[in-house]
Amino acid sequence: MERKSFLSAIFIVLLVSPASIMAKTFEEVNDTRNKRQAQALLPIASYAGLAVSPPVFAALVTAYGVYALYRYNIRRENSVHDSHSCANNRGWCRPTCYSYEYTDWFNNDVCGSYRCCRPGRRG
Superfamily of domain 85-119: Anthopleurin-A (2.20.20.10)
Q: Are 54 and 79 in contact (CB under 8 A)?
A: no
Query: What's this model's pTM, rounded to 2 decimal places?
Result: 0.37
Q: Are strands 91-94 and 75-76 parallel, antiparallel or unpaired?
A: unpaired
Q: Are 47 and 61 in contact (CB under 8 A)?
A: no
d(CA 54, CA 68): 16
- What are 42-52's pLDDT values in tens digits? 777 787 888 88
pLDDT of residue 38: 58
- Over its length of 123 residues, how does the chain's per-residue pLDDT go in tens digits? 688 888 888 878 777 777 666 666 667 766 776 666 655 567 777 878 888 877 788 888 888 888 888 888 888 877 655 668 899 999 988 888 889 999 999 988 888 888 899 998 765
